Amino acid sequence: MARRRTVEEQLAAIHGLRAAPGTAETVRELRAALRSRTGLVAAAAAAVVGETGCDELTDELEAAFARFLEDPIKRDPRCAAKQAIARALVELGRWSSEVFPAGIRHVQLEPVFGGREDTAAPLRGMSALAYAQLGQPDAVVAIADLLADREAAARVAAARALGDSGRPDAIPLLRFKARIGDDEAEVLSTVFGSLLALDLSESLDFVAGFLDRSGQVAEAAALALGESRSPAALPHLLRWIEDAGTLERRRVGFLALALMRLDAATDVLLEQVRSAAPATAEQAARALAPFSHAPELSARVRAAAAENSSPELDEVITRSFAAPPG
């Protein structure tokens, strides 16, 4: 009798199927893995199905999802299989009335030290994304409840999905969420970003109005304005930075300028590197550091820093903007 493969061996074999997508043998192996009683094995198979576009296994994905909804903590700990199945269907562009309506409502409270943890928040978020991206007419209504989800990850996903939906009727809902606020800055930043994505001209002044708030609310608005990459957002950010009363607010403002990837915003940061006091110049350089892979930008930062006699700034330049060898 052949030895039964360990879970690790099964996972390795499934990973290897990426090298031969679409073959009859690959489809057969993936079908068998999706029928596994082990959540990790089915999750790995679902990931390959989504990545390789193996849409002939849609029925198997749906059947596996239904199976792992039964006794889910035991059969599918950490919600791994159900999340992977939902993601695979989104990647395939396949709406499933068997998966997503159940997925957007599913809560999976698993025991952890000191209490219980809901491991299904990413599944709810992925299901919200499916409603938005796969054009469901009830998407806004279905996603709305997630904006009040107990888990921040689900609220972020809901806000992002509403932005991805392209639906103007999502704007009032997102505005209401912005007004009532959230304890997590990432949620607010995503809400602001979705508003700007859905209607930049109508939402710009609305989002910029939150710059007058304190703490993380203003910072979330600043980052969303930066990520919008709209020239119309630049005056709002410059005003906010000019009025900065703390190093942290200026740091966030400089990061927002860097995220714009606009010449005018970059020029402002380079002037800070060139002529500002050491702490401010260092913050401006750090804001540009994530984009140091661009040779022209790195050269401009080095040239600006050469005009500023600051040892602290020199350390940042050496670490993040080193000139290429030779």
For 22-42, how does the pLDDT look when each residue is reduced to its tens digit (9 = 90+)? 899 999 999 999 999 999 999
Pairing of strands 109-112, 115-118: antiparallel
Q: Report the pLDDT value the prediction gives residue 300, as an integer from 0 to 100.
A: 94
User: How much is the pLDDT for 178?
Assistant: 97
Kindly tell me the number of DSSP H helices and DSSP E strands found in the chain. Answer: 20, 2
Residue 77: how many other CB atoms lie within 10 Å? 14
pLDDT digits (tens, 9 = 90+) for 90-102: 999 999 999 999 9
Whole-model pTM above 0.75? Answer: yes
Asked whether 31 and 57 are in contact (CB, 8 A), the reply is: yes
Distance CA 261, CA 122 (A): 30
8 A C-beta contact, residue 205 and residue 196: no
What is the C-alpha to C-alpha distance for residues 21 and 16, in angstroms, rounded to an integer? 10
The per-residue pLDDT for 272 is 94
Please, what's the b/e burial string for 279-315 (b: 16 or more CB within 10 A of its CB; e: otherwise)? ebbbbbbbbbeeebeeeebbebbbebbeebebeebbe
Q: Which helix (H) or strand (E) holds 115?
A: strand 115-118
pLDDT band for position 312 (cuts 50, 70, 90)? confident
Question: In the chain, what percentage of residues exceed pLDDT 70?
Answer: 98
Distance of CA 265 to the CA centre of its chain: 24
- Cα–Cα distances in angstroms (integers) from residue 183 to residues 72, 120, 201, in the given order: 30, 20, 27
Show the domains of the chain with their CATH numbers. Answer: 1-165 (1.25.10.10)
Residue 62 pLDDT: 97
pLDDT higher than 60, residue 252 = yes
pLDDT of 269 reads 96
- Report the distance separating Cα 144 and Cα 269, nearest Å: 39
143-202 pLDDT, tens per residue?
Answer: 999 999 999 999 999 999 999 999 999 999 999 999 999 999 999 999 999 999 999 999
Residues in the chain: 326
